[in-house]
């Protein structure tokens, strides 16, 4: 009887310790989340912190970054990803404070839409500078302080493959990110750095308001698009954050060069009108 109880207590103790380790599997890790002041980036930063990581968030709006950093318990640094000099300053600031980085989640980006007939050079440059050039050079500038065995995660989009009208430049920018994902996975394999991409479908974030749409338009768009999503709803930022946490952790230690689509089944039912 006593032996049985003792064995039961030992098992319970081991299970508890295991669960604690699983719940904090990013302890002693440093993560950088670009565009971490709202939406998917904010949710990802919150989840990484919950898993024990020290997190740096970035954004272009000083007040928004400071507010988010305070709420999250993160380090906030104002940086515009489309400007190379600010990426340099960001990498230097992170190096001075933390020395090394383990996780780089390249979430910051711009979504803007235009039919090809009326697309302007400004429209093209704004998207490509932030979504491609900025992403590319952020990786480059952080490589010297990214630990061997670290994780790079790109936030791409199902728009890269859907062929949705009016999304030509945005889709091209995200397709470029998916190409980078595969190439950099090969280049950085010698350092055991894992490189992966997440391609979300429609996610309920402040993005749609930033596009200048009224709430009624957003609701209408969501209703129509929701009919094409097999799960009949938009995703939640927290659902994307769960995938970020997985890819950032040792649970994904044998995954690199992969795109994980998180879209509720939209690309299975891909025709959009």
pLDDT at 228: 80
pLDDT at 50: 98
pLDDT tens figures, 57-114: 999 999 999 999 999 999 999 999 999 999 999 999 999 999 999 999 999 999 999 9
Look at residue 44 and tell me whether its pLDDT is greater than 50: yes
More confident residue, 208 or 150: 150
pTM here is 0.87
CA–CA dist 207, 19 (Å, integer): 36
Beta bridge partners of 195: 152
Look at residue 211 and tell me whether its pLDDT is greater than 60: no
Catalytic residues: 170
Q: Which token pair is 247? A: 């890819």
HSE toward the beta carbon, residue 250, CA cutoff 13 A: 9
**What superfamily in CATH does domain 26-269 come from?**
NAD(P)-binding Rossmann-like Domain (3.40.50.720)
């Amino acid at each position: 009887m006593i032996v049985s109880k003792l064995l039961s207590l030992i098992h319970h103790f081991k299970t508890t310790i295991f669960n604690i380790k699983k719940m904090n599997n990013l302890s002693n890790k440093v993560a950088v989340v670009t565009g971490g002041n709202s939406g998917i980036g904010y949710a990802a930063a919150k989840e990484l912190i919950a898993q024990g990581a020290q997190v740096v968030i970035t954004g272009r709006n000083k007040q928004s970054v400071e507010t988010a950093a305070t709420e999250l318990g993160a380090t906030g640094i104002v940086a515009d990803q489309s400007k190379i000099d600010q990426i340099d300053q960001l990498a230097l600031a992170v190096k001075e404070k933390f020395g090394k980085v383990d996780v780089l989640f390249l979430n910051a980006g711009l979504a803007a839409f235009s039919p090809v007939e009326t697309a302007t050079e400004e429209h093209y440059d704004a998207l490509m500078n932030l979504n491609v050039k900025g992403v590319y050079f952020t990786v480059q500038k952080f490589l010297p302080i990214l630990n061997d065995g670290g994780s790079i995660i790109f936030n791409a989009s199902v728009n890269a493959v859907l062929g949705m009208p009016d999304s030509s430049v945005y889709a091209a920018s995200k397709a470029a990110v998916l190409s980078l994902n595969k190439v950099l996975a090969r280049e950085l394999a010698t350092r055991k750095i894992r490189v992966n991409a997440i391609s979300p479908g429609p996610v309920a974030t402040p993005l749609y308001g930033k596009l200048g749409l009224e709430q009624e338009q957003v609701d209408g768009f969501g209703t129509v698009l929701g009919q094409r999503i097999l799960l009949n709803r938009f995703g939640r930022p927290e659902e994307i954050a769960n995938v970020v946490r997985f890819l950032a952790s040792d649970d994904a230690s044998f995954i690199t060069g992969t795109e994980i689509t998180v879209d509720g089944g939209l690309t299975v039912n891909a025709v959009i009108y």
